[in-house]
Every structure is written in C-alpha cells, then in structure tokens.
Structure 1
C-alpha cells in the first residue's frame, strides 16, 4: 500500500455560515483528487478543534458546553468516541506536544477560558495543566521547538489581544513572548522548519514568528483578506483552504505558500464554500 501526505477537510459552515456541513473529505495535492471519508458525527458542530496524533484525527467541542471528543481512525475509516473533555469548550484549539493532545482556551457560552487540558491516548484520559496567563478564544495555537504558542484571540465580545503566550511543558508554566503585529481572532497557525506562520483574522498578510529570536515578520500577501480558514502543512508547504472573506461569506478558494520562495499560488478550489472547518494532514493511501 502506497501512503502519501493528504489534506483532510472536516465539517465547517456553508457559504452563508448558516448550515453546518457533515462532510469529511481528503485531498491529494499531487494528483488533485478528492476522496470522501466517513461523515463527521454530530455535524451540528462548528468552530470545533481538530488535530492529528499517530495518523488519527481528533476533534473536540463544536458548540457551547460540548465536551465530546471523537477520533477518526484512518485505518478503519470510522469515527470513535473517546474520553470527553473535563469541561465543554467552543472556539478553542488543540495541538500536539510530546505525543499528547492539549485542548486550550475557548468559550463556554459565558466567559473565555484560560484552562488547558492534556490528553493521553494510552490511558484515554484528560488531565489539567497550568492555565494560560490570559483567557482567550479563537486564538492561533501551535507547537514549535517543544513548546506551545497561543497567539492573539478574543478576550471579550469585541476585544482581541496581540499577546503571545508560551507554554513550557518541563516547567509546566506560561510566559509572554513578543506581541504579534496584529490583534485578531479567528486566526490559525502552523509550524514549518522551526518557524510559526499565522494567517486569518481578516488579514491579507501571512506573518512569521521565529521562536529562537522572538521576532515577528511579514512574509507574503494573500489576494484578499480571510478568517476562519483551514491551514495545514503538506509536502513542506503551507496550505490555506476556504475561510470567510471581508463580506462574511465562505469561500472555496485554496492557496499554497512555499516558504522557500515566498510565493503564494492558487490551488484548485475546494469541493464547496467552507469556513470554520477542521483542516489537518494525514498519511493516506494513494
């Protein structure tokens, strides 16, 4: 069986942001082909968190007070319910650090959350770690250089932050880093070659953060402003898929950013207009 990197788009909202989509679809950039995978369970979800561990996909939350966590087995092409979050979260993010899943921040319908839970897949249990310094929702979260970075996000209904919060698992402690050059929510981040790249928040710029130097820079421009887009790394490049434009409408546009050349190129469009979706990379049979 030949395996190659492929991008999975999970759920999300339609063009107007009204309908929740049940689709789980796999895109192979090399061939340009799409494969339909098993539909997402309980697809009345949006703004859930998604990540991959051991080539399986995990999603959590997805509406106010939802603590459900599902694992998509790539071998079985089926969704399996695993241990729930200790607290319902919405507009939070998940990231992998040292082989464990961290569920970070979010919103519980009343307030933003500073709490952080860590999942061990061997024991199928969640346990709390030290909370963030500041509660945020819809932030960008990424692991890089054995640390977690939480960038920006919403601190109140109409207020965002430019703060960068960094978690060191060895010290089980958070510190502030150099603030980002923007104060946005509905942003996403990926790690590529030891650097963090951030897009979204209705910005048309791709920003780069270097954890070694604690310095921010602008690296490329997108054709238009986007938020709540899918972002993942595949084949050593950053893919920016779907999202909402400045008119608040979902888009099917897809772009790929090559950090070696600094060029943003258009990709074939998604199957449909999609925003607030999960977007991850797995190894999938060709």
Structure 2
C-alpha cells in the first residue's frame, strides 16, 4: 500500500478514509469495509468483500506514523458489518460472511492485540449501523438476508448481553447513524425561542 500522511487537523472521530486514498477507491471496485477510529486517532478497516472473497482481515492506520499496518484478523469473515468503540475496545457486529447475514459479534482488545467473541445479537444484521451512546452499543436497522429491519438492539458490555429496544418507525438497510447530544440541543432550542 502507498504511504499516506494525515495532517493533525484532518483527524477526527467521525472521519472516513480521505478521498484519493487506496482504501477509499476500493469501494468503487466492490469492496465493502467498515471503518472506525479509536481514541488515539487510529483508523481501522475491518473485513470487507473484494468481489471474490469475504475478508476477516483488519488494518490500522496510525496517522502519527502514516502507514497502514496489519493487526490480527477477526475470528469471522465479515462484510457490511457494524463497528464502534466502547471502553477502549473495537467492536465488530453482524455483517455477511458470504453465505448468510450474521448475528455474531466480536471485540478487539488493542492492549492484548486479540479478538474475542461476545454474545450474539437477537437478529442477524448486515448493512446496519452501530453507535455508542452513554456506555452502550446500539445496533440499528440493516437487513437479515430476506428483508430490511426496523429493529434496534442495545449491548451492555458489563453484562455481555443484547436487549431489544424501541424499533425505528421505518425499515432501513444500508443505514447511517450519528450521535447528537439531545439534551444540549434541547437547551439550545429553548434559548432561541
């Protein structure tokens, strides 16, 4: 892979791979990967599909070094999976292994440099979104292999347990999600009225 330097001002927890980077071009060739940045501003590319094979490989870009490095592969091949950071661990949830949509999930411990399984979700999900809110992971929407989903599940890492929570109004696959502090938003809206 090419060397790549990120300027410090380009690094944020919501950043995608910059346009023109080799990893970004691969989506046009049919590779579907999940990207996630950790608290130390390292970017992870998880799994994917290269038009032939479903991947379990994981790569990390440390912008301080400016190079992609391999990290241990995931336990399962996953494309169109959800990813999020919780408690210093990188979680990879659901996805498709080439034969079916998956309910299984795993997490990467960067200190130990190892992956371990976590409890599976209630529903199989691919092309879904995973976000962290207030110390919990939420998996929302996606597709179970036969239809789009409106269901949402919450993961409690302390209990290693998923629970179903309020469903969305509409079924959504290939969904995007973002976290916005609603309390702060409400305060701002009340001040302006």
Quickly name the TM-score band, shorter chain normalised.
Answer: 0.7 to 0.9
Q: How far did 1:188 drift? A: 1.4
1:251-262 alignment, distance < 5 Å: none
* C-alpha RMSD of matched pairs (Å): 2.7
Q: How far did 1:155 drift? A: 1.1
What is the SS of the residue equivalent to 1:70? strand
1:95-174 alignment, distance < 5 Å: 95-157=84-146, 159-174=147-162
Per-residue Cα deviation, 1:54-87 (whole angstroms, up to 9, x for no partner): 1010011111420010001111111001010101
- Of 23, 38, 46, 2:31 maps to 46
Distance 1:120 1:42, change over 3 A: farther
CA distance in 2, matches of 1:176, 1:49: 23
Per-residue Cα deviation, 1:206-239 (whole angstroms, up to 9, x for no partner): xxxx9xxxxxxxxxxxxxxxxxxxxxxxxx9xxx
What is the SS of the residue equivalent to 2:55? coil
Structure with greater strand percent: 1
What is aligned with 2:48?
62
Is the 2:130–2:140 contact (alpha carbons within 8 Å) kept by the matching residues of 1? yes
- TM-score of the aligned structures, taking structure 2 as reference length: 0.81
- Of 166, 169, 172, 1:181 maps to 169
Q: How far did 1:47 drift? A: 2.1
Structure 1 stretches (4+) deviating beyond 6 angstroms?
A: none
Could you tell me which runs of 5 or more consecutive residues in structure 1 were left unpaired when the two chains were aligned.
Answer: 11-23, 26-35, 196-209, 211-235, 237-259, 262-286
Distance 1:3 1:41, change over 3 A: closer
Is the 1:61–1:67 contact (alpha carbons within 8 Å) kept by the matching residues of 2? yes
Structure with greater helix percent: 2
Is the 2:83–2:129 contact (alpha carbons within 8 Å) kept by the matching residues of 1? no
Distance 1:165 1:6, change over 3 A: same
What is the SS of the residue equivalent to 2:178? strand
Could you tell me which runs of 5 or more consecutive residues in structure 2 were left unpaired when the two chains were aligned.
Answer: 1-6
- TM-score of the aligned structures, taking structure 1 as reference length: 0.56
Is the 2:16–2:35 contact (alpha carbons within 8 Å) kept by the matching residues of 1? no
CA distance in 2, matches of 1:41, 1:81: 17
